[in-house]
Structure 1
Amino acid sequence: FLQMREAEELTDVTLVFGDRRLPCHKVILAGMCEYFHRMFLTDMMECYSKEIVMKDINASTGVLLVDYFYTQKIDITTNNAQDLLEASDMLLIDTLKHNVEEFLCNQADKSNCISLLNLAQFYDLKLLLKETESILHDLQVNDLIDTEEVHLLSEKHLHVYVIGGNDGQSVLKSVDALDMWTLEWSSLPHMPQPLQCPYVVFVSNKLFVLGGLHGCMDPMEWSEDVYEYDSTSKTWHKRTPMPEQCPDGAAVALGDQIYVVGGSNRSCMEYNPHMDSWLHLQ
């Protein structure tokens, strides 16, 4: 088929990338790309067209893609990786998208981890997200501030939160945030109740406080309550409580979910912030 394309033998559609016109075979495009497969099997206007204009893909990327469709080979470089990522995401080419992600993981370091982290979040690249967050977490504060990409950090990565605690006399419901760029502290609205040792998780650009020791009970007991902070309205909202207490455990974010695990109860619970629902995993 590659030789037939080069000789323009039996080609039945032309892809137009900017000023480049590339004759192709529909059967190859449909077999290699889910985007074209759906296009040619539905009643879309392009299904009957002899030319398909690819408005959002530049000419050099278009040439690489068509060659990839016919050879299953492509040279991913630092110069074309982001364009290939955008194109593979748009055209639903999962294998190529994964290959680009692996390439970016190998390129990630402290000089580019913030921009790559944002890229990973935008395109839902879980491997790249894990790699860049690991690099970011290992950076010292001075290294982070000195990097040229610090302005690209989201609120999640620009602040350190200190929530609740104990001042030696009483349990606190205060919330303070350290701006990692200016190294200045600011106070947020107090939590609805005082808590000591709560679990704090930032997921989907939202701050969640889970569990902890009730400050208003004597003796203190572990809380099952869950609170979400709305940074727009600067208010706290109570969410569905945890199914059980989790003393001395931990909470982590993975993808768009929150997991509360371990502790003396050997808990394993999953929280879906979008649905405001809990699931026992054991």
Structure 2
Amino acid sequence: MMMEVDCFAAMHTRLHSFMKAGMYTDVNFVIGTCTIKAHKAVVASCSQVFQTMFDTSMNEAHTSEVVITDVDEKAFSVFLDYIYIRDVGIVKNYVRELLMLADKYDIEPLALVCDNVIQCSLTAENAVESLLLANLHRRDRLKNQITLFIKGHLNDVSATANWAKLDDNFKVMNGIFQSFLPGNVGASNSELDKVRWTFQNKNWIEPAHPSPLIVDGYSDVVLLVKPTKGPTGHDKLPILIHVEYENKLKKLFPLYLKIVTYAGKWNTLISISTCNLMPLFPNSKGSFQVFITCIPNVTPYQMNIEVSAKKAEPITQHPLLKTVKDYKHRFADAVVVVANVRFPVHKLVLAERSAFFSNIFDKTQNEYRIDGMAENTFKTLLNYMYSNCLPEKVDLPLLKGAEQFQLNELSRFCFSTLQKSITFDNAIEMVTKAEELQLDKFSTEVIEFMAKEPNIVAKSPKWPKMRNHANVLKKLLYRMKK
């Protein structure tokens, strides 16, 4: 019986034995103090790079000597062994070095073998290094496979020491982020800061079960708002807004209720302050009613009614606070220096309002310096401490200052106001600024927002700014994984 013989395999095996014995060789590979002899025809047949090297006026063509500096003797010896005999079994122990050499000398079959070995050997411990290696050598298919592995094992991979190696590689981290982008978007925030009803053809269109209205910035103050009376056909149409409330706070809560009725492009604004008529007492439940009168012949359908609520300003309750807000320097007994600007202050006022100042003030010192804060930010904080009036404009540095001075109510107000101002246009700027200011809670809030529409976020022209904020990108990945 005649046996089938693989002539090419037999020939390559013979050539390999000639190479090992140094027989008929015509090129020397010098690695440090070691020299490995080989055959130009064999290595050039596998690599266009070697063929060009031996055919041109390069030094290697004249000297028949190639100096290797990027791997050690053993790894390059295995590289030559693979070129001669194509034994995939020898690749595993030197896969990193062999992938580098396959890339350098353009030997795609060896690169594919390395890809397969790396993919089959993936673990949580080596996934990040494998991804960086695939990125370095432009192995796109391998990168995709490793990225999918990381996506499926994010908790384990992110717990390894190697995870930190992605901090300086936005491109790779962005690739992981892109793998998490869903086809469809999640739902929006369930907590409402306003409720709306539509009045169409003289009939109410409203939810069967009205959602509770969370008072802006105060999750412990909840209202259930609903219209209880519709049109009656009279010229003047009374609409009764019934409000049930629960104040879970341990203090009096002065409520400010705003009702807006509008149709088409025009608005009729009805603002009702209930701070004197209906203060919400500590740990109490109750209800009250508000009447709205609209004229059907003037108010076109469809008409909308929108109700929102917030805490009443102290100035609304105590008009004399307007004069306190413009405090004078008389009787000041300390100076606070912010951004090289001197602010005369009263220790008693600041210490009473802020635990921060209460802790730093003493009898022997009259000048105090606050570093890392802008002049305008401190002015706003000072106005609040003197008057208890919430500011008209809020930004992240103000939130940081409120937290630093332990002004809890202002901090909560700033947080809530900024939270409602998050958009896909400003989310990246807000989250990166929040990270810089170490506002971890607000940063998490923005990340929650971004995770709802990651496709939109990733297409933003501001997305490259994330390059310097790898930690934010990691947090976004964790949120998308949930």
TM bucket (normalised to shorter chain) is 0.5 to 0.7
Query: Which of these residues, 33, 39, 48, is aligned with residue 34 of structure 1?
Result: 48
Amino acid at match of 1:208: K
Amino acid at match of 2:465: S
| Alpha carbons 1:116, 1:128 under 8 Å: kept | no
Mapped pair 1:231 → 2:465: yes
Q: CA RMSD in A?
A: 3.7
Query: Which of these residues, 38, 43, 54, is aligned with residue 24 of structure 1?
Result: 38
Return structure 1 stretches of 4+ with deviation > 4 angstroms.
157-161, 165-172
* Identical-residue share of aligned pairs (%): 21
Equivalent positions of 1:54-203 (< 5 A) are 54-76=68-90, 78-139=92-153, 141=155, 143-154=156-167, 155=170, 156=173, 172-173=422-423, 174-175=426-427, 176=431, 184=440, 197=453, 199-200=455-456
CA-CA distance at 1:186 after TM superposition: 6.0
Amino acid at match of 2:455: Y
CA-CA distance at 1:200 after TM superposition: 3.5
CA shift in 2, pair 1:44/1:145, >3 Å: closer
Mapped pair 1:51 → 2:65: yes
Count residues in correspondence: 200
Give distance in 2, aligned partners of 1:183 and 1:20: 58
Give distance in 2, aligned partners of 1:96 and 1:233: 33
More strand by percentage: 1
Query: Which of these residues, 16, 27, 36, is aligned with residue 2 of structure 1?
Result: 16
CA shift in 2, pair 1:7/1:111, >3 Å: closer
TM-score by length of structure 2 reads 0.36
Give distance in 2, aligned partners of 1:233 and 1:99: 33
Give distance in 2, aligned partners of 1:151 and 1:87: 27
Amino acid at match of 1:229: W
Amino acid at match of 2:459: F
More helix by percentage: 2
Give distance in 2, aligned partners of 1:104 and 1:6: 28
Gaps of 5+ in 1: 191-195, 202-206, 210-226, 235-282
Computing the radius of gyration from Cα coordinates, the structure with the larger value is 2
The aligned counterpart of 1:208 is 459
Mapped pair 1:13 → 2:4: no
CA-CA distance at 1:185 after TM superposition: 5.2
Gaps of 5+ in 2: 1-14, 182-187, 195-419, 447-451, 469-482
Q: Secondary structure at the match of 2:49?
A: helix
Q: Which protein, 1 or 2, shows the higher relative CO under an 8 Å CA cutoff with sep ≥ 6? A: 2
| Alpha carbons 2:82, 2:90 under 8 Å: kept | no
TM-score by length of structure 1 reads 0.59
